[in-house]
Amino acid sequence: MNKIKVMDEVLANKIAAGEVVEKCASVVKELVENSVDAGANEIKIEVEEAGTKLIKVSDNGSGMSHDDAILAFERHATSKLLDEMDLFRISSLGFRGEALPSIASVSEVTLKTSLGDVGTKLKIEGGKKVLEEPSDARKGTIITVKNLFYNTPARLKYLNSTYTELANVCDYVNKMALSYPNIKFTLISDGKTLLNTDGTGNLLKVIKEIYGSDVARKMLKISIYNDDYDVDGYIALPEVTRSSRNHMITLVNNRVIRNTELNRAINDGYHTYKPETRYPIVVLNITTDPSLVDVNVHPSKLDIKFSNFDDLKELIKTGIKNVLDKALLIPKIEKKEVIDEKPKVELQQLNLERQNVISSSAIDYSIFDEPVMEVNEDITSYNEEKNDKTKAENKKIIMPEMYPVGLAKGTYIICHNELGLYMIDQHAAKERINYEGYLKAFGNPKSDSIKMLIPLTLEFPSNEFIIIKQNINVLKDMHFDIEESGINSFVIKEHPTWIKEGYEEESIKRILEVIISEEKNFTIEKFREKAAIMLSCKMAIKANTNISMEEMEALIDDLRRCDNPYTCPHGRPTTIFYSNYELEKMFKRAM
C-alpha cells in the first residue's frame, strides 16, 4: 500500500493558512489589499473583539462576476498574474492566489460582490461552500469573516490579547492609509471609529489623522532620487521620536514592507541629531520599476529584495541628512493649553506606544516667534509654506546671534536677543564643538606632532594586542609614533597636536579602546566616528563647572560655527528657546 497521498484540498488550505493567516491583522491585510487592487477609493474595515469575532471589509471597487467569485476561493486562482514573466514585474499588492482559500478554511466567510448588475452571495464555512445565491446590485465587494480559527483551536488559543490584536490591526490600517492617501479609509472597532481619512491624496493630512496635529506640524517634506529610485514622503524633526522602530514606515510602490537595513539607513540619517535609543517618525514611499524589486520572498509579502540596494540606502541616508541640515532645529518651549476634548481614538488603555500620538515633551522645533497652532487649524498650508521656505534656502541655516548674561546651576548658559531667551547646555555644546573638531582632525590629520617627555608604555591581553597590531597603520597615519615593545606591549613616543594637554594618556587609551571594540566590523569611518564621539564627551566641560563670561562668549561663537550646532553627538539638544510671546504669556503679560 502506498504511503504517499495527495492532501485533501481543505487540509492543504489549512496548512497554507498557517503562513498567510497568522493573526487578525493578517486577514485584514489580505482583504484590504484585494480592495486596493480592485480599484476602490473607499474602504471600510469593521472589527468586533479585535477581529476574532468579526472582520468586515467593504469597498466600492470593480467587484466580481458570479464565476470569478466562485473561482476566487480556489487555491492559486488570481487575476493578477497571467504568465511567468509577470512574476518579475509585479505591480499589484496581491498575486499568489492563496489568501481567500486560506482564510475561508479557518473561518466562516460571507462574500457579496457585484459588477453593478445582479450580484453574487457566497457563504463558506471551514473551506466548504454552504450557500450560493444572487445578491443586490451594489457595485463593489463586501467580505465578512466570522469566528476566525473556530476549527483550529490551537491557533485560536495562541492569539495575542484582544488589545494587542486590535493594536496590530490599527497599525496595519494606519500604514495602508499612509500608503494610499488618495483612498478613504475608515476603521471601526466595536462601533467606535478609530480612523477616518478623507481620501484627498494629501499625505500630511493622513499623518495628522494618525499622529495628531502636534506631530504633523513637525514633519519635513523629503523628495530625493537617483537613476533607479525616487523617494518621497515626510520625516519628523529630531525631537519627535518613539522608543520603537515601528514608526519608520517604508513603502515600495505603495506596498507596506519591513526591511531592517532600510530602517538602519533612516536611523543613520539622523545620526547625532537624536539619542541612539530613540527612533524617528518617518513615512517614505520608494518608487521604482517593478523589475528592480522582488516581492515574492514570503507569503506575507512584507519582505522584499532590491537591486542596487547599497545605492538606495546611501540615497536615503544622505537625503535625510541634507533635509535636517537645512532646518532650524533649536527647540522652542511652548506652554501647552489643556483642551477638554473627547478622545477620537479610545485606545489609551492599550498602553501601546504605536497608538500614542501625544508628544513625550513640550519641546517643539519651530521657526522663531511663529504663533502656536491650535488643534483644529489646517496644518497642510502651514507645512507647505514652511517647506517652501526650506527649499528657498540655498545655504544651511545657522544659529542666530545671542548674548550671554550668566550661568544657571553651573551648567546652563543664559542668553538673549531680540527674539527671546535661550538656554545652552555648556557640556552638550562643548561636546558638539569637540566632536566636529576631532572628526575633522581624524579625517585630515596634520603632520604636526608632539614628542612625549616620557614615552607611554601600555600593556594589553594577547587578543587585544593582536587587534591593535592589525590596525596600527591607522594610528601611524594620524601621526602617532607607536611601536611594539616587548610582549603584548606598545610604546607611544609622539602624539598629534590636537590631543588636549594634560589628557594625553587618557585620550590615547580611549582611542585604542575604540579600535579593540570595533574588532569585527572595523572600518576607518567607524573608528573616526566612535573615537570622535568618545573624546568629545571626555574632553567637554563638565556640568556644575563655573566658566567666565569670556569663556561663554567663546563657546557660543564656536557652537555657531558648527555644521550641526543643535545637538550633541548623542542627540541631546544643545540649546532651547523661549520666545518673547511665550515669556510674556507665562508672566500673564500676554493672554
Total residues belonging to the chain: 591
Q: Is the pLDDT of residue 582 over 70?
A: yes
Tell me what the mean pLDDT of segment 201-212 comes to. 91
What are 416-428's pLDDT values in tens digits?
A: 999 899 999 999 9
Q: Is the pLDDT of residue 292 over 60?
A: yes
Q: Is the pLDDT of residue 512 over 60?
A: yes
Q: Does residue 336 contact residue 374 with C-beta atoms inside 8 Å?
A: no
Signed CA dihedral, 349, 352, 353, 357: sign only: negative
pLDDT band with cut points at 50, 70 and 90 for residue 335: low
Tell me what the mean pLDDT of segment 86-93 comes to. 54
More confident residue, 224 or 9: 224
- CA 469, distance to chain mean position in Å, is 39
Tell me what the mean pLDDT of segment 382-399 comes to. 50
Pick the CATH number of 447-497+501-538 from 3.40.50.1100, 3.60.15.10, 3.40.630.30, 3.30.1370.100: 3.30.1370.100
Tell me what the mean pLDDT of segment 309-329 comes to. 88
Q: Is the pLDDT of residue 213 over 90?
A: no
Which pLDDT score, from 0 to 100, does residue 545 have? 84
Q: Which residues contact 158 (CB under 8 A, 6 or more apart)?
A: none
Signed CA dihedral, 94, 96, 97, 101: sign only: negative
pLDDT band with cut points at 50, 70 and 90 for residue 229: very high
Q: Does residue 29 contact residue 255 with C-beta atoms inside 8 Å?
A: no
Q: Is the pLDDT of residue 91 over 90?
A: no
By three-state DSSP, how is residue 489 classified?
A: strand
Which pLDDT score, from 0 to 100, does residue 94 have? 52
Tell me what the mean pLDDT of segment 202-231 comes to. 91
- Residue 168, CA distances (Å) to 29, 161, 258, 421, 431 in order: 10, 11, 14, 44, 41
Which pLDDT score, from 0 to 100, does residue 143 have? 93
Which pLDDT score, from 0 to 100, does residue 464 have? 81
Q: Does domain 218-326 have CATH number 3.30.230.10?
A: yes
Domain ranges of the chain: 9-196, 218-326, 447-497+501-538
Task: Output the average pLDDT for the chain.
Answer: 79
**How far apart (Å, rounded) are the C-alpha atoms in residues 129 and 106?**
13
What are 134-167's pLDDT values in tens digits?
A: 888 789 999 999 988 888 777 777 787 888 888 8
Which of 388-392, 396-400, 454-458 comes out lowest in average pLDDT?
A: 388-392
pLDDT band with cut points at 50, 70 and 90 for residue 106: confident
Pick the CATH number of 9-196 from 3.40.630.10, 2.70.170.10, 3.60.15.10, 3.30.565.10: 3.30.565.10
Percent over 70 (pLDDT), the chain: 77
**How far apart (Å, rounded) are the C-alpha atoms in residues 521 and 100?**
46
Which of 173-182, 196-205, 324-333 comes out lowest in average pLDDT?
A: 324-333
pLDDT band with cut points at 50, 70 and 90 for residue 397: low
Q: Is the pLDDT of residue 462 over 50?
A: yes
* Three-class HEC string of 90-159: CCCCCCCCCHHHHHHHCCEEEEEEECCCCEEEEEEECCEEEEEEEECCCCEEEEEEECCCCCCHHHHHCC
By three-state DSSP, how is residue 63 classified?
A: coil
What are 475-503's pLDDT values in tens digits?
A: 888 788 899 887 888 999 988 877 777 77
Which residue from 565, 574, 560, 559 is spatially nearest to 427, judged by alpha carbons? 574
What are 17-37's pLDDT values in tens digits?
A: 445 577 888 899 989 988 998
Which pLDDT score, from 0 to 100, does residue 521 have? 60
Which pLDDT score, from 0 to 100, does residue 336 have? 52
More confident residue, 499 or 378: 499
Which pLDDT score, from 0 to 100, does residue 238 have? 87
What are 340-370's pLDDT values in tens digits?
A: 443 344 443 443 333 333 333 333 333 223 3
Which pLDDT score, from 0 to 100, does residue 26 have? 87
Which pLDDT score, from 0 to 100, does residue 144 have? 94
Which pLDDT score, from 0 to 100, does residue 438 have? 82
What are 540-561's pLDDT values in tens digits?
A: 887 778 889 999 999 999 998 8
Quick one: which H or E segment has residue 33? helix 24-37
Tell me what the mean pLDDT of segment 100-104 comes to. 85
Which residue from 444, 425, 452, 442 is spatially nearest to 540, judged by alpha carbons? 425
What are 35-66's pLDDT values in tens digits?
A: 998 899 999 999 999 888 999 999 999 898 88
pLDDT band with cut points at 50, 70 and 90 for residue 1: low
Helix, strand, coil abundance in the chain, percent, nearest 5: 35, 25, 40
